[in-house]
């Protein structure tokens, strides 16, 4: 019997790439691969890439450069590039980097076993098609091994919004929702193996409209309520959402579905109507603010997160002040913020009025300082409150366990006998820069 082959996957970017990397490993399992934590011991290296930020491809080439010595020492080592950079620049990667054996896009990774077999015969392979077949159905079922207490579950892929700054519609394709029965089946399987919290994933996850029984479309709220009926599944989250797809029943679910956690990531990108229009965001500052009011009315203790881009072409000081004002009014629990990054092929890439990088940097520093103050204030306000914590792993020293609160904060406690997967009530006693401390109730 041949010894197992070893697979190392490095994942960049969003939670959907984390999920995809898991499925790539599962797809290669029948070909004899088991995952390892170091590229030095691998028989195959896969880089699962993200194309959202500037110079993403160059970072891939830089990473590949680190493997030249390994490839020279192990000529049979297979190296592959997967994900969105692969989708956008697959042929160029093959031309620029002869050490790469395989390039596979995010909609084709179910074909990895066939690609690996071809690479084993000395054929370099590129597959960046967007095939009609359902990649999830083509993959074998997840191995029946025990799982940790939390898991990602992709329910929707692609985007039809065509924001002027974004490459996702070009690398992930148009919006597609997985059928309800397949999502529920995968969720039940995860729970049977120890998962107690599932995060539903999608580029625009609240645009989910999967085919349910009788051929009827289900929205995300109905899917969440049905998932909540699964015994053993204690928590449900979803990300990332678009303001235009926040339907009434999904807002209501935040108030009436106990298992839906009080955390919502709802990017706005800018507080200026002029910039929002140039971004092709299809919502306004006022519509976003009214939406926030409705969601908070349904769930007053909601922790709200968002995304912001500063320095978008033609952004003025006044536009930036509008963003700062919106942040002040919303009062976020956490946020992600970035300088505008020009992506080739997007409508904004060649526009005039590019903002001076130094100005963008100054604006980002000012915005992040405000967001950090809001995050710290939110965390300090948790002190003295009781929260649910799903414990995931041991802490830094004996007797300490770390988990996530209802609001997605990292929480650590000192207590004997806790195990990963335990869901307990905790009283928060102190707040640090990035985590909370508490005592069991």
- Helix axes 84-96 and 56-65, enclosed angle (nearest 10): 50
Nearest to 411, CA basis, from 224, 399, 427: 427
C-alpha 185/C-alpha 190 separation (Å) is 9
Q: Token match 């609240």: residue? A: 206
Q: Do domains 5-127 and 144-261 have the same CATH topology?
A: no
| pLDDT score at 131 | 61
For the chain, give every domain's residue range. Answer: 5-127, 144-261, 386-440
Residues 144-261, CATH architecture:
2-Layer Sandwich (3.30)
Give the single-character DSSP code of 141: P
Both tokens of residue 212? Answer: 């349910």
Task: Kindly calculate the radius of gyration of the chain based on its CA atoms and give it in whole angstroms.
Answer: 23
> Annotated binding residue at 257?
no
Provide the 8-state DSSP code for 260. B
- Omega of the bond leading into 20 within 30 degrees of 0 (cis): no
Backbone angles phi, psi at 337, to 5 degrees: -140, 145
- H or E stretch including 188? helix 180-192
Q: In this predicted structure, what is the pLDDT of residue 134?
A: 61
Q: Is 335 annotated as a binding residue?
A: no
Q: Does the predicted TM-score (pTM) go above 0.95?
A: no
Beta-carbon contacts of 118 under 8 Å, excluding residues fewer than 6 positions away, are: 125
Contact criterion met (CB below 8 Å) for 113 and 127: no
Which letter does DSSP use for residue 215 in this model?
G
Phi, psi of 287 (to 5 degrees): -65, -35
The token pair that represents 341 in the structure block: 């990054």
CA atoms within 13 A on the CB side of 25: 21
Instruction: Judge whether 136 and 111 are in contact, CB under 8 Å.
Output: no
CB 88 within 8 A of CB 58: no
d(CA 105, CA 317): 40
How many Å apart are CA 105 and CA 45, to the nearest integer?
A: 16
14 is in an annotated binding site: yes
Q: How far apart are CA 154 and CA 146, in angstroms?
A: 20
pLDDT in tens, the chain (441 residues): 467 899 999 988 778 888 888 888 888 988 899 999 999 999 999 999 887 666 667 788 888 888 989 998 998 999 999 988 888 888 888 888 889 999 998 878 888 889 999 988 889 989 887 665 565 665 655 555 678 899 999 999 889 999 999 888 887 888 999 999 999 999 999 999 999 999 999 999 999 999 999 889 999 999 999 999 999 999 999 999 999 999 999 999 999 999 999 999 999 999 999 999 999 999 999 999 999 999 999 999 999 999 999 999 999 999 999 999 999 999 999 999 999 988 878 888 888 899 999 999 999 999 999 999 999 999 999 999 999 999 999 988 888 999 999 999 999 999 988 999 999 999 999 999 899 999 999
Q: How far is CA 380 from its chain centroid?
A: 26
What is the per-residue pLDDT for 339?
Answer: 94
Residue indicated by tokens 């692609």? 158
**What topology does CATH give the domain 386-440?**
OB fold (Dihydrolipoamide Acetyltransferase, E2P) (2.40.50)
Pick from 310, 312, 243: nearest CA to 278: 312
As a CATH number, domain 5-127 is: 3.40.50.12160
């Amino acid at each position: 019997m041949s010894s197992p082959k070893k697979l190392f996957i490095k994942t960049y970017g969003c939670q959907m790439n984390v999920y995809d990397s898991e499925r790539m490993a599962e797809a290669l399992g029948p070909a004899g691969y088991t995952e390892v934590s170091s590229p030095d011991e691998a028989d195959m290296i896969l880089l699962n890439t993200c194309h959202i930020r500037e110079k993403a491809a160059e970072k891939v080439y830089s990473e590949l450069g680190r493997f030249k010595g390994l490839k020279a020492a192990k000529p049979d080592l297979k190296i592959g590039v997967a994900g969105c950079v692969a989708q956008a620049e697959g042929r160029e990667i093959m031309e620029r980097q002869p050490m790469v054996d395989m390039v596979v896009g995010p909609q084709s990774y179910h074909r990895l076993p066939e690609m690996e077999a071809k690479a084993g015969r000395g054929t370099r392979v590129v597959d960046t098609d967007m095939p009609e077949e359902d990649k999830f159905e083509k993959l074998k079922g997840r191995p029946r091994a025990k799982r940790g207490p939390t898991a990602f579950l992709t329910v929707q892929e692609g985007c039809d919004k065509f924001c002027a700054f974004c490459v996702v519609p070009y690398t992930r394709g148009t919006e597609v929702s997985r059928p309800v029965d397949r999502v529920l089946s995968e969720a039940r399987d995860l729970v049977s193996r120890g998962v107690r919290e599932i995060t539903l994933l999608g580029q625009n996850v609240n645009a989910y409209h999967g085919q349910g029984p009788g051929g009827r479309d289900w929205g995300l709220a109905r899917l969440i309520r049905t998932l909540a009926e699964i015994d053993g599944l204690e928590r449900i989250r979803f990300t990332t959402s678009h303001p235009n797809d926040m339907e009434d029943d999904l807002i209501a679910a935040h108030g009436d579905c106990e298992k839906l956690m009080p955390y919502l990531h709802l990017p706005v990108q800018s507080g200026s109507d002029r910039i929002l229009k140039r971004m092709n965001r299809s919502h306004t500052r006022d519509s976003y603010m009214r939406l926030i009011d409705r969601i908070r009315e349904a769930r007053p203790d909601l922790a709200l997160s968002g995304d912001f881009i500063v320095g978008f072409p033609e952004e003025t000081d006044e536009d930036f002040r509008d963003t700062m004002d919106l942040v002040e009014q919303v009062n976020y629990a956490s946020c992600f913020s970035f300088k505008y990054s020009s992506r080739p092929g997007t409508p904004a890439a060649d526009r005039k009025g590019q903002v001076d990088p130094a100005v963008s940097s100054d604006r980002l520093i000012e915005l992040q300082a405000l967001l950090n103050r809001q995050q710290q204030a939110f965390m300090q306000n948790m002190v003295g409150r009781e929260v649910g914590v799903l414990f995931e792993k041991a802490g830094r020293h004996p007797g300490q366990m770390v988990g996530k609160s209802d609001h997605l904060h990292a929480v650590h406690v000192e207590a004997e006998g806790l195990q990963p997967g335990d869901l307990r009530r905790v009283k928060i006693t102190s707040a640090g820069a990035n985590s909370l401390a508490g005592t069991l109730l």
